[in-house]
Amino acid sequence: MILQRLETFFQPVLSRYTSEPEKFLGMLSRCADPKFGDYQANFAMALGKSLGKKPRELAEEMAAAVRENPAAVEMLEKVEVAGPGFLNLSLRGEWIQRQLENARRDDRLGIPAVSEPKTVILDYSSPNVAKPMHVGHIRSTVIGNALYRILKFLGHRVIGDNHLGDWGTQFGMIIYGWKHFRDEAAFEKEPILELTRLYRLAREKMDADAEIADACRRETERLHAGDAENRALWEKFMPYCLEEIDRAYRRLDVTFDETLGESFYNDRLPQVVKTLREKGLATESNGAVCVFLEGRETPMIVQKSDGAYLYATTDLATLQYRMEKYQPDAILYVVDHRQSEHFEMLFAVARLLGMENVELRHVRFGTVLGEDRRPFKTRSGDTVGLEGLLDEAVERAKKVLLENEERNIPEELWEETSQKIGIAALKYADLSQNRDSDYIFSYDKMLAMNGNTATYMQYAYARVRSIFTRCGQNPSELSGEIQLTHPAERALAMELLRFGEALEGSVKDYRPNFLSAYLYEVANRYSSFFENCPVLRAENEAIRTSRLLLCDLTARTIRLGLELLGIQVVEKM
Ligand code: ARG
């Protein structure tokens, strides 16, 4: 990987001037303007002052030192000092070509697996079941799954765990509804529909009548206490709840290694509270068992005065279980930003319990908004069901495809293609956003043929692939080498070689949008390559082959990149 390699050249040089070279390595970056070079660094400006040296002189010294390193000379054509002390670096054409050759002969496109794999638990999707999945579930599911795929590709041991909310008050409500208002025939026919009806009914009645609210709460308590009737009802309902979410996961092409819901930890909850007490971490306050944390007014409550355990208690039990079972290096929670406080407290308590050597991260995300900039709702004010959302995306994808005059989708692939385009649009719209921000849900934007959308990326891929259909050649049968004869080829090549960097960048702070931004850049550079450099009508056979090879590497980069985001490509569209 280019940047990493450049770092190895500058690391020792920087150490001559500072005891903390790592702090400065981050200043290595790509040149905004290729006129000046491919990469640049302004170490000298940053270091010059404190060393009492002129930055330009310092830069000259560094440049000279790097030029003495044979490995650097092999890679770099120029190491130049410019202006007040910038270092401009240009890569050698032959070096770039060699890397491209490596990449194209490798299924992993030249990206090595990490040398020190980590064990990472990814807690994602984690919906509260027995309620229909809705728009709010997209983010965790889609972002979590992209991180899962990328981390795994990079060679880490990743455990995707769907921490279902399968033990909450919604079950008390449904059980109450079942006992009083059930329609068994309806349940036989459409179990989830009936459960949803009962849930909504209970919700309404609860809101109107405090006694019913109490009754629902008691049903939850009974379930938690092991009451046989309620337990049996829970067991009766659960398979349908799981089937419901699995249908969504199948359509979204999302899988998990574990699906351990809150119910799984029920028996471990008393022990959590006991441990916290024994360690002197928990105290009683107004009858509730609480952990007070330094610098925080509100404590983490782990048991209510009526004996009930809470979300936090379950999360502590889950944490202990995961630590014992997997000894993970990191646990990532892909959860809505509104739970930030919960996770801050959870992690603080984890540290108090001695879990020091694990990276605990709340990978948080903002809200999905409607075009009116308020949380996305249907006209009737309901939150939008996920199934309906997916269906609509597919319907709209069909329209967009029909409008494309260059469309060349074979009849028998029409349905499958629309499915892939629609679902991809929905997923990518989420993945291309900075996850911290809220984003506006818009079918028109997500299915636009231009701009950073899945539709554009899929189209870009299909267009590259169509070159091979047109010339009837199979990329794997091309014999020849990649040579860079035009600046647009070089620009594309440089971008293709940044794939590994983009993947590393996207897991550094767990941001899949780094990868989507990278792929978009690849597609753009491909466009300008394609405008400037005739492929099938290149001036000679060697250049034609070289350009076809570049096309193929572009297609494979886009395909793999999209796959790691959980987005499928189509060959024709
Ligand atoms: N079920 C929770 C919700 O829907 C999310 C769970 C996230 N994971 C966790 N370990 N707390 O809000």
Q: Is the pLDDT of residue 237 over 70?
A: yes
Alpha-carbon distance of 478 to 476, in angstroms, equals 6
Alpha-carbon distance of 80 to 63, in angstroms, equals 7
State pLDDT tens for residues 512-563. 999 999 999 999 999 999 999 999 999 999 999 999 999 999 999 999 999 9
Across 366-496, the runs of DSSP E, i.e. the strands, are 368-369, 439-440
Give buried/exposed letters for 174-195 (b at 16+ CB in 10 A, else e). bbbbbeeebeeeebeeebbebb
Q: What is the pTM of this model?
A: 0.95
Query: From the CA of 332, how far away is ligand 1's center (Å)?
Result: 12
Alpha-carbon distance of 322 to 324, in angstroms, equals 5
Containing H/E element for 291?
A: strand 288-291
Query: From the CA of 329, how far away is ligand 1's center (Å)?
Result: 21
Per DSSP, 263 falls in state: G
Atom of ligand 1 nearest to the CA of 342: 11
* DSSP per-residue letters across 434-494: -TTS-EE--HHHHT-SSSSSHHHHHHHHHHHHHHHHHHT--GGG--S-----SHHHHHHHH
Query: From the CA of 161, how far away is ligand 1's center (Å)?
Result: 11
pLDDT at 380: 67
Pocket of ligand 1 (CB under 6 A): 123, 126-128, 163, 165, 315, 318, 333, 335
Alpha-carbon distance of 184 to 182, in angstroms, equals 6
Nearest by Cα to 573 from 353, 425, 384, 378: 425
Atom of ligand 1 nearest to the CA of 165: 1
State pLDDT tens for residues 1-48. 899 899 999 999 999 999 999 999 999 999 988 889 999 999 998 898
- Can you read off the two tokens belonging to residue 350? 């984890």
State pLDDT tens for residues 260-294. 999 999 999 999 999 999 999 999 999 999 999 99
Nearest by Cα to 4 from 490, 518, 499: 499
CA–chain centroid gap for 234, Å, is: 33
Residue bearing the CA closest to ligand 1, atom 1:
165
Give buried/exposed letters for 107-145 (b at 16+ CB in 10 A, else e). eebbbeeeeeeeebbbbbbbbbbbbbbbbbbbbbbbbbb
Please provide the average confidence, as pLDDT, over all residues in the chain: 95
**pLDDT > 90: what percent of the chain?**
90
Atom of ligand 1 nearest to the CA of 168: 1
Region 315-343: what's the mean pLDDT?
98
CA–chain centroid gap for 373, Å, is: 24
State pLDDT tens for residues 113-171. 999 999 999 999 999 998 888 888 999 999 999 999 999 999 999 999 999 999 999 99
Region 318-324: what's the mean pLDDT?
98
**377 pLDDT band (50/70/90 cuts)?**
confident
Burial-class residue 60 by CB neighbours within 10 Å (0-12, 13-18, 19+): middle
Q: Which of 122, 123, 163 to mutate to test the pocket of ligand 1 (most atoms within 8 A of CB)?
A: 163
- Asked if 499 and 109 touch (Cβ cutoff 8 Å), the reply is yes
Residue bearing the CA closest to ligand 1, atom 6:
126
pLDDT at 407: 87
pLDDT at 379: 67
Region 459-471: what's the mean pLDDT?
96
Nearest by Cα to 291 from 316, 268, 267: 316
If you search the block for the tokens 């303007």, which residue do you land on?
A: 33
Q: Is the pLDDT of residue 378 over 90?
A: no
